[in-house]
């Protein structure tokens, strides 16, 4: 009877155990690493891994994200800020040169809300050739939904150490890509159809378009040197100042 009681208590303890999401610290912020539990999930669809081979911060404090081979398939990577920052300027310094990146891969730096209102409050910086064999451009700024040309600006980036910025204010989305020497590679702004900040959080991801393997059969890695946020007047961080 005693043994049966011990087994019952042990099984209840196991049943009540809840897996906690892995978190990392990058540029002074807490980020939640996504796991899709081995299942295919959007975007793509892809399998997203929270393992250190897919996401880790190295000894120099750089965030490294990778698409990695896993058995017969591939695992992608995604991290989300642990809290919404609201209006302000989001800056990401990317060490990796996207020129010549595998044409199946997509890197995203974007705001997103799980609530569907206002197209999930999504503002995107995306680096990808979108699997097009002759596509010369590999970068774009987007205000979702992107059904019309005036909601998207495509361009080429052929160097690393580029800082991508999203300045988000009420009724304004302003994007830029700036080289290490200060040269502005691209600038674009939009005032129509800009979503409210709401509870949107910043996300970074690296995934495979349509879930298909890298065209060269090799892992894909992106390295980020730093993330910075300057609060706007109406952001939660700004209100705390």
pLDDT digits (tens, 9 = 90+) for 116-139: 999 999 999 999 999 999 999 999
Would you call 238 helix, strand, or coil by DSSP? helix
3-state secondary structure of 169: strand
Mean pLDDT, residues 142-165 taken together = 95
CB 168 within 8 A of CB 238: no
Band (pLDDT 50/70/90 cuts) for residue 233 is confident
* pLDDT on residue 5: 44
The mean pLDDT of the chain is 92
- CA dihedral 102→180→121→169, nearest 10 degrees, is -170
pLDDT at residue 27 tops 60: yes
Q: What does the pLDDT average to over 55-80?
A: 98
**pLDDT at site 241:** 32
Does residue 234 register a pLDDT over 90?
no
237 touches 103 (CB < 8 A)? no
Q: How confident is the model at residue 147 (pLDDT cuts 50, 70, 90)?
A: confident
Q: How far is it, in rounded angstroms, from Cα 17 to Cα 153?
A: 47
Cα dist from 90 to 38, 125, 129, 143, 165, whole Å: 31, 11, 24, 15, 6
Q: What percent of the chain has pLDDT over 90?
A: 86
CA distance 115 to 45: 20
Domains of the chain plus CATH, in order, are 20-232 (2.60.120.200)
- Residue 55 to residues 105, 110, 200, 237, 241, Cα–Cα distance (Å): 16, 17, 22, 27, 32
User: Which pTM was predicted?
Assistant: 0.90
């Amino acid at each position: 009877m005693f043994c049966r009681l011990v087994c019952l208590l042990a099984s209840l303890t196991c049943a009540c155990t809840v897996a906690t999401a892995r978190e990392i610290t990058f540029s002074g912020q807490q980020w939640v690493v996504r796991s899709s539990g081995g299942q295919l999930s959007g975007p793509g669809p892809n399998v997203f891994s929270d393992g250190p081979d897919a996401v880790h911060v190295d000894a120099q404090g750089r965030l490294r994200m990778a698409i990695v081979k896993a058995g017969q398939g591939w695992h992608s990577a995604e991290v989300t800020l642990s809290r919404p920052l609201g209006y302000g300027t989001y800056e990401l310094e990317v060490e990796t040169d996207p020129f010549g990146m595998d044409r199946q891969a997509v890197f995203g730096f974007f705001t997103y809300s799980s609530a569907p209102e206002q197209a999930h409050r999504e503002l995107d910086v995306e680096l990808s050739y979108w699997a097009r064999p002759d596509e010369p451009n590999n970068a774009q700024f987007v205000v979702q939904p992107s059904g019309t040309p005036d909601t998207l600006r495509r361009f080429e980036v052929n160097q690393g150490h580029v800082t991508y910025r999203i300045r988000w204010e009420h009724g304004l989305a302003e994007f830029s890509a700036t080289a290490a020497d200060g040269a502005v590679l691209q600038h674009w702004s939009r005032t129509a159809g800009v979503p409210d900040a709401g509870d949107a959080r910043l996300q970074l991801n690296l995934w495979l378009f349509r879930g298909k393997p890298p065209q060269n059969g090799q892992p894909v890695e992106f390295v980020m040197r730093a993330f910075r946020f300057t609060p706007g007047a109406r952001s939660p961080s700004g209100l705390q100042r």
